[in-house]
Amino acid sequence: MKNITVIGSGTMGNGIAHVFALNNYKVHLFDISTDALAKAMVVIEKNLDRQVEKGSITAEQKTSTLQNITSSASLESAAKDADLVVEAATENSAIKLELFKNLDALCNPGAILASNTSSISITKIAAATKRPAQVIGMHFMNPVPVMKLIEVIRGYATSDETTKTIFEISKALGKNPVEVNDYPGFVANRILMPMINEAIISLHEGVAGVEEIDTVMKLGMAHPMGPLQLADFIGLDVCLFIMNVLYEGFGNSKYAPCPLLKNMVTAGYLGVKSGEGFYKYTKGSKDLVVSGMFSK
């Protein structure tokens, strides 16, 4: 396994490309938008600079990492030499199914097709291909260069050999792979999202304010971010999407998304990416300022 194709150059895709390239894999980064690819390369360079400044990598490693990445807007050229594809496109079933059908046709028969999906069924994605034994979930956490976990999700037909290969590659990236089965939300989001939803319900019911809820979880449970700040970081649209996957997947009302979460997404308050969610974000500032909607 030497040639890795990463599909999608957003936050997760560029982080995944960064980590593979830093660990001496040849990365082909694909996106349908050349603008998005150019932006991704700027982000990767900035994140590498941050690691050089902290002394966690050398300037030479930064140079070789950038040299290991080729970008292109042609799926055909990105897929043709891949040993492993890691798909990190938009979290949309129809887009992913179409992509996997095309990747299956374009890639070498031996290639493994992995998805970084946070909640879409791996079994369903694998069924869009003629190689379901070689389809697997490889769920990285944000920020990818920092977080140590890779949730490795086995679909119904994923082979032991594919799983073993993905475990070996994950370890070669300095990550800790954990094997889980294909159920709604897998493990990470089945546990994380109901916690975030409960924090939003607590805010909605007036149990406590934004800062109070986050402080309880930061200082009381040693979480690096409170659940409301984390929801902003992940994106409230993503949180709502995953809650709906759990709600529909299990048919259990305990997973019903909070009406406040639904309203905020409808109004375009998506968190960091839209500039405001539970907090208000100003470019260049690291200060956490509670959104005017929730300040006392």
56 counts as binding ligand CAA under rule CB under 6 A: yes
Q: Does 52 bind ligand CAA (CB under 6 A)?
A: no
Cβ within 8 Å of residue 274, ≥6 positions away: 268
Question: With respect to ligand CAA, which residue has the nearer C-beta, 109 or 284?
Answer: 284
Element containing residue 135 per DSSP (H, E): strand 135-140
Contact 122, 136 (CB under 8 A): yes
Chosen residue from 224, 251, 284, 292 binding ligand CAA by CB under 6 A: 224
- Rank residues 97 and 288 by Cβ distance to ligand CAA and give the closer one: 288
Instruction: Supply the residues annotated as catalytic.
Output: 118, 139, 151, 189
Report which of 165, 163, 164, 235 is spatially closest to residue 196, judged by C-alpha positions.
Answer: 235
Token pair of 217 as six digits: 């979880």
- CA count, 13 A, side-chain hemisphere, 291: 18
Residue number, 79 or 199, with CB nearest to ligand CAA? 199
Give the C-alpha separation, 230 to 88, whole Å.
20
Q: Which of 263, 184, 276 is nearest to 231 (CA)?
A: 276
How many residues belong to the site for ligand CAA (CB under 6 A)? 19
Parallel, antiparallel, or unpaired for β 279-280 and 289-290? antiparallel
Stretch that binds ligand CAA, among 33-41, 61-69, 126-134, 230-238 (CB under 6 A): 230-238
Can you tell me which of 115, 162, 189, 202 binds ligand CAA, judged by CB under 6 A? 189
Assess contact for 42 and 85: CB atoms under 8 A.
Answer: no
Q: How far is the CB of 131 from ligand CAA (least distance, A)?
A: 25
Instruction: Please state the closest distance from residue 139 (CB atom) to ligand CAA, in A.
Output: 6
Stretch that binds ligand CAA, among 20-28, 51-59, 200-208, 245-253 (CB under 6 A): 51-59
148-177 residues near ligand CAA, rule: CB under 6 A: none
Sign of CA dihedral 50, 57, 116, 2: positive
Residue 76 C-beta: closest distance to ligand CAA, Å: 29
One of 142, 159, 181, 244 touching ligand CAA (CB under 6 A): 142
Using DSSP's 3-state secondary structure scheme, residue 246 falls into: helix
Residues 78-97 interacting with ligand CAA (rule: CB under 6 A)? none
Contact window for ligand CAA (CB under 6 A) among 50-58, 60-68, 252-260, 274-282: 50-58
